[in-house]
Amino acid sequence: MDKQKAEEQLAIYVKVVEEIDRGFERSIEEYSKCFVERDAIEDALAAGLDTDDEFLVRLYAADAKLRTLLRPTKHSIHGEQPERRFWWWGVPKRNAEALEEAARQTGWID
């Protein structure tokens, strides 16, 4: 992934975090696809993506915000994922009643 693609992926991820903060009103199926961009960034960083400090500050700020917005789940919501990819191990704590009910029905939360 090049820097421009990484910037595009980060912009999408930041928008997802903002949407979760406002109240996530989409389906559980859509929610389970929301963090593909974050995964792509993680994979690119592991592969040696050349980034600047400002990119990492924005990424880690979005991560920190997301951590405050998620209720942990018992299982990854997107296949087998390591727990360090925390974005796959939670659902929004608030303003997402339909999503929370669907997560209960799937057994992700009690």
The per-residue pLDDT for range 73-85, each reduced to its tens digit, is: 888 888 889 999 9
Give residue 32's domain range: 3-106
Helix (H, G, I), strand (E, B) or coil at 93: coil
Number of other CB atoms surrounding residue 74 within 10 Å: 10
Q: What pTM was computed for the model? A: 0.89
Q: How many domains does the chain have?
A: 1
The per-residue pLDDT for range 1-38, each reduced to its tens digit, is: 999 999 999 999 999 999 999 988 888 888 888 899 99
DSSP β-bridge partners for residue 92: 70
